[in-house]
Amino acid sequence: MWSYGEMDRLRAATKSDHVESPVSIEQVGQRTRSFDWLSASGQALHWVESVPSRGGSVVGTWTQARGLQLGTVDVGNSVHAYGGGPYAASSGGIWTTTAADGQIWLNDKIQYTRDQRQHGDLVFNDGLLLAVRESSDRDQLIAINPATHRTQVIHEASFIASPRLNRGRLTWMQWGSAVMPWDSAEVWVADYDPAGSLTRMKLIAGGPDESASQPRWGPDGHLYFMSDRSGWWNLYRTAGQAIVPVAAMQAECAPAPWELGYSTYAFLPQGRLAVITQVGPESRLALVAGDGTWHDLPTPYTSLKPYLAAADDRLSVIGSAPAISQQIALVPTSGTDQIEVVRHSNEDPQAVSCVSVPEEISVPSGGADVTVIFYPAQGIGPRRPTPVIVRAHAGPTYQAEIRLDWEVQFFTSRGFAVADVDYRGSTGYGRTYRKALDGRWGELDVIDCQNAARHLIHTGCAMPTAIFITGASAGGYTALKAVCTPDTPFALAVARSAIINPGDWITTAPRFQRPHAAILSHPNADVTPDEVCRPVAMIHGGADTVAPAADAVDLAASLKSRGLLANLVVLPDVGHYLRSPQAIKAALDAELAAYRTVLTDLGL
């Protein structure tokens, strides 16, 4: 775990006062390989690995004996728009969903589904493959028998996730069509009949004011799950007719379930458990004893993805830190520091020899204390005014992360400081903070970002005339709204894949996300061109199905007529996420050019 004293030493060690050469756009694109959906089966680790050179993802498998093997077929799905759980390991091989159409295959050779619907959240239990299949208006929980190729629909609901089967007992989570799963979700159990019917269905946890998720059967036969009934997502289990906390703490032990397949706790030998915890922007590992006592397990990571699996007495994690690029590692639970790194996202050991290391700043804002992760410009020295880029994360229910971000380093190596803001609505601060943005989107997040900017100006970290705001998706919306007040401290907004009209978004958003638009929105939520007070640059994917590109084109036309359009870049055949090196290059080119135009006009 990095303490901030250790970060001070790291800042000195990484020569943040000297820049040998700026991070190039090509280097950013090359270093965007990432890992997700890590799991363990027997002696093997499995994960999904992005391949930037082809804009797709493959399944990776590692064993001590055979080393690394990478699949050749692009895997993925778009269940609930954001997808997840695109593979499952079994004794018969690897089950996957194909990125092209969301269909289920075994070992990339045998196709088990053939329809227009998306499949995801794959898991292999009791000799059956379980999966979630999404239709236009509801979900189906299906079971596939590998021997007979028979597909059974065993349950239907508006939204379903996390099916788990153990000796004829089935559990899953579900939620209604008018809510988001981080606000209200339920965990159910039932008896599963081999003929495909469910009996003795019972609601275990969840309701209008409780989000319950990640149900799993423990080695002890009890049902475990996450719930935020205390105000924090903590781990619980059933004990007869009672529900008891496994380890109560003021920390988030689960993320907002945007994607399928999250797993933030793991069962260990001797009745122990491990949990990923998050307090503010920092992730940690906690070891939980059988009596509920727990302690932090030291690691070098400050950011852990929401995938945790036990491999005997070790924990497999996807971790990163300010000077550690994303890696898959095996962490011993015995207290030793012999961490085994299985896979690096960046194979160049010199790549992190000179990076900007952040500090955490608390900024008062509207009665709340808002966390800002501040990366100083390289080559400038501490606490000297520089151009600053304030970033609104792509939440709203997400958070800033303390990790090596090559887009941040791209700008800090060019004399910009970067400030990530955990505005109200972010995860990592409990349910009350997370729900503060309901009905106040484009207001409280904007106030928090503006107050962060003013704080950086007041403390001498930012040039008053050269402070910018940027964001993607929901963060792009926040960036646009942040330049809609006459007293804004921002000289320019850069919006990537931005949501522009929340009122319309209630009907144009993917089915999964429409309730979110309604929950967040209010009569004055839309970005009104006449209210924009500063220049705006926009980068948008032409094939974006989450935030329609037509909205960006319309806004750009209005801003151009008022002389406030800095640039509009529409990337053909690119969706909501800019994943390919080509799309990233185009976005960074446009963003840097917009900032430099402002600086040139200022004589800087």
Per CATH, the homologous superfamily of domain 367-601 is Alpha/Beta hydrolase fold, catalytic domain (3.40.50.1820)
Which of 464, 384, 409 shows the shortest CA–CA distance to 22?
Answer: 409
The residue among 174 and 346 whose pLDDT is bigger is 174
Confidence check: pLDDT of 388 > 70: yes
Q: What is the mean pLDDT of residues 146-158?
A: 96
> Which of 347 and 584 is assigned the larger pLDDT?
584
pLDDT of 347 strictly over 80: no
The β-bridge relationship of strands 417-422 and 386-392 is: parallel
**pLDDT, tens only, 189-206:** 999 998 889 999 999 999
Contact 495, 471 (CB under 8 A): yes
Q: What pLDDT score does 3 carry?
A: 45
- Distance, CA of 121 to CA of 84 (rounded, Å): 6
Cα dihedral across residues 260, 261, 262, 267: positive or negative = positive
**Cα(336)–Cα(148) distance, integer angstroms:** 48
Q: What is the DSSP string of 6-39?
A: HHHHHHHHTTTT--SSPPPHHHHHHT---EEEEE
Domain boundary assignment for the chain: 37-151, 158-251, 263-353, 367-601
8 Å CB contact between 33 and 345: yes
Find the helix packing angle between 444-458 and 474-481, rounded to 10°. 70
Give every CB contact of residue 256 below 8 A, 6+ residues apart in sequence. Answer: 181, 182, 397, 398, 427, 434
pLDDT of residue 421: 98
Residues 88 and 144 sit within 8 Å (Cβ to Cβ)? no
State the pairing for strand pair 565-571/159-166.
Answer: unpaired
Confidence grade of residue 19 (pLDDT, cut at 50, 70, 90): low
Name the CA dihedral angle for 176, 180, 186, 190, rounded to a multiple of 10 degrees.
60
In this structure, are residues 425 and 396 in contact, taking their beta carbons and an 8 Å threshold? yes
Region of poorest pLDDT, from 85-99, 313-327, 347-361, 473-487: 347-361
| Mean pLDDT for the chain overall | 93
Residue 198, both tokens? 């469910």
Which pLDDT band, with edges at 50, 70 and 90, does 545 fall under?
Answer: confident
- Name the strand (E) or helix (H) holding 462: strand 462-472
For CA atoms 143, 133, 515, 476, the dihedral sign is positive
Q: Chain-centre distance of CA 19, in angstroms?
A: 30
Select from 252, 248, 274 the least CA-distant residue to 334.
274
**Bridging pattern class, strands 314-321 and 309-311:** antiparallel
- Supply the Cα-derived Rg of the chain in whole angstroms: 24
- Residue matched to tokens 């924009």: 532
Q: How far apart are CA 452 and CA 389, in angstroms?
A: 11
User: If pLDDT is split at 50, 70 and 90, which confidence band does 2 have?
Assistant: very low
Least confident range from 218-232, 301-315, 361-375, 577-591: namely 577-591
- Count other C-beta atoms under 10 Å from residue 190's C-beta: 18
Phi, psi angles (nearest 5°) of residue 27? -65, -40
Phi, psi of 434, deg, nearest 5: -65, -35
388: three-class secondary structure by DSSP: strand
Specify the pTM: 0.94
pLDDT at 348: 56
pLDDT at 1: 38
Helix (H) or strand (E) holding 505: helix 502-508
Place of tokens 């959906």: 37
Q: Does residue 346 have a pLDDT over 80? A: no
Closest Cα partner for 15 from 412, 410, 372? 412
What number of other Cβ atoms are within 10 A of residue 150's Cβ? 12
Residue 314 has pLDDT above 70, yes or no: yes
Nearest to 58 by CA among 27, 32, 30, 36: 36
Band (pLDDT 50/70/90 cuts) for residue 445 is: very high
